[in-house]
Amino acid sequence: MISNLLLRWYDKNRRALPWRLQKPDPYKTWISEMMLQQTQVETVLPYFARFMREFPTVADLAKAPEAEVLKNWSGLGYYARARNLHKAAKIVAKKGTFPSAMVEWLELPGIGAYSAGAIASIALGEKVPVVDGNVIRVLTRLFALQGDPKSKPLKEKLWRLAGELVPANRPGDFNQALMELGALVCTPKDPKCGVCPWQKECKARLAGNVALYPTPKEKTPSQKVLIMASLIQKNGAYLLARRGEKKHLQSMWEFPQMLPEALQIKAKREKSLPIVHHAIMNRRIQLTPHLYKYVSGKPKPNGCYVDYCWISLRELRNYPTSSMNHKIIKDISSKENRRPKAL
């Protein structure tokens, strides 16, 4: 059966990852799956290590304040995932046990079919499939399936085919093998068909038209967005503003994207810093940071901002801020580090 070919390949080629254990652990599997969504393994590794240090068990995660969880997630993006993870941890800790099947995982906040399938097959050995971007690419090529993989009929077909391939004896390893094949061999560009365990079965390769699969998405035109941020300095500290809970990037801290006057602060503009480029979905953001020296006034809630604090550059790195804010912090940190030290 073709599943065994893939498992044999996986046994020889799998990457050693901290959440891939001899005896899988539901908590580690769950955290890794949440972090891996839309994110590369290499990016996740340091976050996973830090998360495990800070919250070694689900009980530790459940009792941590939300700000602490967000701080340790800060930079991974998609903060709703961290909030849902925290909510779900509270439910699991209260119950005292992890869900024991895919359907039970699906009941937790922030867990969809992919995550529930991955956790249940890897940590519980349940014979259920997973379909993510890597799996879609491999299966559309293997079975030469054309059409939009997000359309209902093709989506259902992919889940059905993935389910038929999952073996009863090693479902978790098989699902990880399928995703690993997509990440390492059946890559979007230049797939390495010559080392693929399914090269003799793959319909797209046999027809010589691998590049046709999966059917490319129709591109939505990208939108350029220009914004600014005020970096107001007072005695070596910077003003940070916190977004309200019902706003986009809820409860996150950032350099206010408003002029000091809008916050009822008097400040002297010093200079503009290099533009920060950031992409979210189809938006290409160009943010211009402006450096100000504080003169007087106390910041007042305005627009999306509900709270403020003054914070040193060193402490800033530990605050729950967006990826875009991290880029600004990185820029100003490297400038401060380059400054000649006073004798």
| Separation CA 107–CA 105 (nearest Å) | 5
Single out the segment in contact with ligand SF4 by CB under 6 A; choices: 14-22, 166-174, 185-193, 268-276: 185-193
- Which structure tokens are listed for 102? 């895919």
- Mapped onto helix, strand or coil, the DSSP state of residue 210 is helix
Instruction: Give the list of residues 6+ apart from residue 303 with CB closer than 8 angstroms, or none.
Output: 258, 262
Give me the sign of the Cα torsion angle 30, 34, 37, 43. negative
Q: Is residue 52 within the footprint of ligand SF4 (CB under 6 A)? A: no
Residue 13 interacts with ligand SF4 (CB under 6 A): yes or no: no
Minimal distance, residue 207 CB to ligand SF4, in Å: 10
Any contact of residue 138 with ligand SF4 (CB under 6 A)? yes
Cα–Cα distance for residue pair 309/237, rounded to 1 Å: 9
Q: For this structure, is 201 an active site residue?
A: no
Our finding on whether 145 is near ligand SF4 (CB under 6 A) is no
Query: Which one of residues 5, 45, 59, 193 is an interface residue with ligand SF4 (CB under 6 A)?
Result: 193
196 binds ligand SF4 (CB under 6 A): yes
Residue number with CB closer to ligand SF4 (131 or 196): 196
The residue range among 37-45, 138-146, 220-228, 316-324 that interacts with ligand SF4, by the rule CB under 6 A, is 138-146
Binding mask 223-262 for ligand SF4 (x = CB under 6 A): ----------------------------------------
Residue closer to ligand SF4 by CB (options 214, 299) is: 214
Q: Of the two residues 7 and 89, which places its CB atom closer to ligand SF4 in the complex? A: 7
Do residues 214 and 182 make contact, with C-beta atoms less than 8 angstroms apart?
A: no
Q: Name the β-bridge partners of 308.
A: 241
CB atoms within 10 A of CB 136: 20
Count residues near ligand SF4 (CB under 6 A): 14
On whether the CB atoms of residues 324 and 287 are closer than 8 A, the answer is yes
Residue 5 interacting with ligand SF4 (CB under 6 A)? no
199 binds ligand SF4 (CB under 6 A): yes
Q: Centre a 10 Å sphere on the Cβ of residue 200 and count the other Cβ atoms it contains.
A: 10
Residue of 82, 122, 123, 185 that binds ligand SF4 (CB under 6 A): 185
Q: Name the catalytic one among 33, 126, 180, 254.
A: 33
How far apart CA 268 and CA 179 sit, in angstroms, is 53
The only residue of 142, 177, 179, 265 in contact with ligand SF4, by rule CB under 6 A: 142
Cβ closest to ligand SF4, residue 205 vs residue 278: 205
DSSP 247: S
Binding ligand SF4 by CB under 6 A: which of 205, 242, 243, 290?
205
- 248, 284, 76, 186 alpha-carbon torsion, rounded to 10°: 130
Ramachandran angles phi, psi of 285, nearest 5°: -95, 135
User: Would you count residue 210 as binding ligand SF4 (CB under 6 A)?
Assistant: yes
> In whole angstroms, how close is the CB of 181 to ligand SF4 at the nearest point?
7
Q: Report d(CA 70, CA 290) in Å as an integer.
A: 26
* Side-chain-side CA neighbours of residue 186 (13 Å): 27
- Count of all residues that appear for the chain in the document: 343
Residues recognised as catalytic: 33
Residues at the contact surface with ligand SF4, assessed by CB under 6 A: 138, 141-142, 185-186, 191, 193, 196, 198-199, 202, 204-205, 210
